[in-house]
Structure 1
Amino acid sequence: MTRADIISYCVNEYNAVVDHPFKHYPHYAAIRHPNGKWFALVLDVPADRLGRNGHEVLDVVDLKVDPELNAILQEQPGFLPGYHMNKTHWISAVLPDWNTVDQLADLIEGSFNATK
């Protein structure tokens, strides 16, 4: 799955607004409610910064989740503690580890609802 897949899904499903708020990280995309509060953040991060081997740049999406669910998800393949976010309330899904947006749709919806 690609960053474009996530962004397109959120824009179409949630009428999200996308911007790039970080001057030094122009590829980071905040996916926001129409009121401006973000519910997802798409980042490109070197694999070694994510605790993985190599220097390949990987796209991840940060989503807000309940702390108990966060602890469970961090034990599953494809998930890491929220990169660049509070690691108790945010989880990172490594996009190349997923085939379709549908696999993350429930988490996206949960993040959207948790950040209203």
Structure 2
Amino acid sequence: MREVKDFIKDKKIDLKRLEKFGFKLKENSYYYDIFLLNNQFKMTVKISLDNSIFTEIIDTETNETYVLHLLEMKRSGYSEKVYKAYNKVLEKIQKECFEDERFKTNYTKEVVDYIKNKYGDELEFLWEKSPKTAVVRRKTSKKWYALILTLSKRKLNLDSDETAEIINLHNNPEEIKKLIDNKRYFPAYHMNKKHWCTICLDGTVELKEIYELIDISYELAK
């Protein structure tokens, strides 16, 4: 079996989801089998508890390991079909069996869960060069109502080299003026400071208060 690199970088296994998906526990690893392209190939996925993942594809006619789908420079029309089927399975496993771990603090995780549970919206990571920057947009308007990212506290003019996970939220200009105190609420990082503010997701502002501000931001994204 071949290890799949970077597939679950910044991801955490949800064991209950693995079992629900169809993985079976054998000798401290989880295994999942599926047939591809009208049963021409059998794909096996192995996930170890240390967060490593391995795959193997067997040609059911010859019972030999198939590897052409892994050779990016040499993939032909047929091996490209195998690769697409193989990749589709991996993407589904990633989506349904793993939690995103790019953000580490419990506060951030609580905020993300609130957004998912109340509005059904997922984090979108739009920039390859900024893998720890996510936007959340309202489905009906496609407008952003939250931006979550990791940055140095110095970028908020705080005297610290520590990093912080922050959220930017939309509000009306009058409320923004009232909120900004440069201790709990900050001028929006990298966004319009008249209409947005920044909050550190470290406990300086209570979750209940943040949730209320998320709701306001969501309504303004109509």
* Shared fold per TM-score greater than 0.5: yes
- TM-score w.r.t. the length of structure 1 is 0.90
1:39 lines up with 2:180 in the alignment:
no
SS at match of 1:48: helix
Q: Which has the larger radius of gyration?
A: 2
C-alpha contact 2:167 2:199 (8 A) present in aligned 1: yes
Aligned runs of 1:23-34 on 2, under 5 Å? 23-34=128-139
* Cα deviation digits, residues 56-81 of structure 1 (max 9, x gap): 11011000010010011002631101
Structure 1 residues 10 and 91: alpha-carbon distance in aligned structure 2, compared to 1, 3 A threshold:
same
Match of 2:112 in 1: 7
Residue type of the alignment partner of 2:143 = K
C-alpha contact 1:67 1:88 (8 A) present in aligned 2: yes
Aligned runs of 1:96-111 on 2, under 5 Å? 96-98=202-204, 100-111=206-217
C-alpha contact 1:17 1:33 (8 A) present in aligned 2: no
C-alpha contact 2:170 2:197 (8 A) present in aligned 1: yes
Cα separation, 1, equivalents of 2:193 and 2:138? 21
Aligned runs of 1:1-116 on 2, under 5 Å? 2-35=107-140, 36-75=142-181, 77-98=183-204, 100-116=206-222
Structure 1 outlier segments of 4+, above 4 Å: none
Cα separation, 2, equivalents of 1:27 and 1:40? 14
Q: Which moved more, 1:29-38 or 1:106-115?
A: 29-38
Of structures 1 and 2, the one with the larger relative CO (CA 8 A, separation 6+) is 1
Cα separation, 2, equivalents of 1:41 and 1:106? 16
1:83, distance to aligned residue in structure 2 (A):
0.7
- What is the total number of aligned residue pairs between the two structures? 116
Q: Which moved more, 1:96-105 or 1:67-76?
A: 96-105
C-alpha contact 1:15 1:33 (8 A) present in aligned 2: no
- TM-score w.r.t. the length of structure 2 is 0.49
Q: Percent identity?
A: 26
Cα separation, 1, equivalents of 2:193 and 2:136? 19
Residue type of the alignment partner of 1:105 = Y
Cα separation, 1, equivalents of 2:189 and 2:111? 17
Cα separation, 2, equivalents of 1:102 and 1:6? 10
Cα separation, 1, equivalents of 2:184 and 2:161? 17
